[in-house]
Copies of this chain bind each other. A is one copy, B any other.
Amino acid sequence: MLKYVRISIVSIFCLISGRSIPEDYLLDTQKIITISINDSTAYKRLSYLCDTFGPRLSGSRNLEKALDWIISEMKADGFSKPRGERVRVPTWIRGDESLQLILPFKKNLSILGLGGSVATPKGGIKAEVIVGSSFEELDEQGKKVRGKIVLFNAPFTTYGETVQYRYKGASAAAKYGAIASLIRSVGPWSMNTPHTGGMGYDKNHPKIPHAAITMEDAMMLGRLHDRGERIVMDLRMNARSVADRWSRNVIAELPGSEIPDEIVVLGGHIDSWDVGQGAHDDGGGCVAAWQAVKLIKDLGLRPKRTLRIVLWTNEENGGRGNMSYRNEHLSELKNHILAIESDGGVFNPRGFGFTGSDEARDMLTSISRLLLPIDANLIFKGGRAADVAPLNDEGVPVMSLKVDGSKYFWYHHTNADTFDKVDFIEFNRCVAAMAIMGYVVADMDDRLPR
């Protein structure tokens, strides 16, 4: 690996000599890649975070204990002012839940209630099930839906499209008088793996319980329905939303050596759903951002501008962390040079998405050539990841780390989003990509234009 990296660096040097990209950073880039690819500090930290605290839902003790540990480790790392900035977060508690198929035969089905769902009545909901594959099919059923459970058996197309059944399915079904709604888990692949995630209610319709079943069971129920079988289920959920609780955004810095008021943000969201370990979503992104800045510090590189690690809370079910960060730091935002978030898993990085001016994009495209040795040199359109989008609304140029996303939605919001799914080399390449991009933008003579 090292040999490969070194040869590539030399090739890049030859390739780019004479062009208008920051040749000054070739040596530092080589150092960052060489060290990051083989260092196990961050990988071990991610493992410890995942195994020790478990999933980190907003409002949970797991999350707050994880934040305590992170802040304490950041202090040990020697960062400037590691701290938690307090944020009130919505708090939803899953409680017990079960779903039993009663007719045409008995079977216990795996479910995950969707975040924000109300409970069933205490005795559960036992009702006939109407199966449809789309909102349109529901509309066609019309009055037949009253008093029944609706199952949206929508095949996965894109996340953005299919997730609509998770967000809006309950109210779409309640509009026709359904008493509960179920969705086929939002993902392209399953090994009997239900997916949770956020949902909302339209205030014009009654709030009904809303949960996800596995792809396998949804497809089976779809087939039973197509064969004309009468389907009856018993759904029990005692999920509840309680009063907002305190959480924190975690912040730590490597102060700029010349222009400390100018800030480059690197971060991820530290909360997760209440299943699995939140490893790819987004413990990995948080630890990668943290390690990227630690690496720069440990290498003795002191960029001109400040590098700030921000680990936002409550991305999954409220976005209160990113709104709070924007509000609390509003006066600083004119000097936020760039904000980079990793929230697509820590698989092999391919580059960064970017939202900002064309002039800035050209500059970042030049810098991105430094990432060619780790094949992460592409600049895509669009960098408005959830937690940096509010900063972009205020004019801050933003980036999101782009990775090989082919398996991201396999694990997303499931009990399978666990540390074992994170590959050592791939994760470290994410660290290297974040470190190089953050470092060069923080250190180069020119301020990244807006």
Residues of A at under 8 Å CB distance from B?
47-48, 50-52, 54, 104-105, 107, 110, 189-193, 215-216, 219-220, 223-224, 227, 276-277, 410-411, 414-416, 418-420
Contact = CB atoms under 8 A, between A and B. Distances in A.
A53 to B, nearest CB: 8
Nearest to A189: B191
A190 B216 CA distance: 15
A220 to B, nearest CB: 5
Nearest to A221: B51
A47 B223 contact: yes
A50 B414 CA distance: 26
B192 A414 contact: yes
A225 to B, nearest CB: 11
Q: 8 tightest CB-CB pairs across the interface, nearest first?
A: A191-B416, A192-B415, A191-B191, A191-B193, A216-B418, A192-B416, A219-B420, A51-B220
Nearest to A410: B191
A58 to B, nearest CB: 19
A47 to B, nearest CB: 6
Given A190-B191, A193-B191, A215 B420 contact: yes
A155 B302 CA distance: 44
Nearest to A420: B219
Contact of A191 (B107, B277, B411): B411
A216 B416 contact: yes
Nearest to A101: B54
Contacts of A191: 189-193, 410-411, 414-416
Given A191-B193, A192-B193, A419 B276 contact: no
A23 B4 CA distance: 54
A415 B220 contact: no
Contact of A110 (B47, B215, B224, B415): B415
Contact of A276 (B192, B227, B277, B420): B192
Contacts of A105: 52, 54
Contacts of A220: 50-51, 277, 418-420
A411 B189 CA distance: 13
A219 B419 CA distance: 9
Given A415-B216, A420-B215, A107 B224 contact: no
A272 to B, nearest CB: 15
Contacts of A219: 418-420
A419 to B, nearest CB: 7
Contacts of A192: 191, 193, 276, 414-416, 418
Contacts of A216: 276, 415-416, 418, 420
18 contacts: A47-B223, A51-B220, A51-B223, A52-B105, A54-B105, A189-B191, A190-B416, A191-B193, A191-B411, A192-B193, A192-B276, A192-B414, A193-B193, A216-B418, A219-B418, A220-B277, A220-B419, A223-B419
A12 B190 CA distance: 39
Given A191-B414, A192-B276, A193-B193, 14 more contacts: A50-B220, A51-B224, A52-B104, A54-B105, A190-B191, A191-B193, A192-B193, A192-B414, A192-B415, A192-B416, A216-B276, A216-B420, A219-B418, A220-B419
A151 to B, nearest CB: 15
Contacts of A411: 191
A227 B193 CA distance: 29
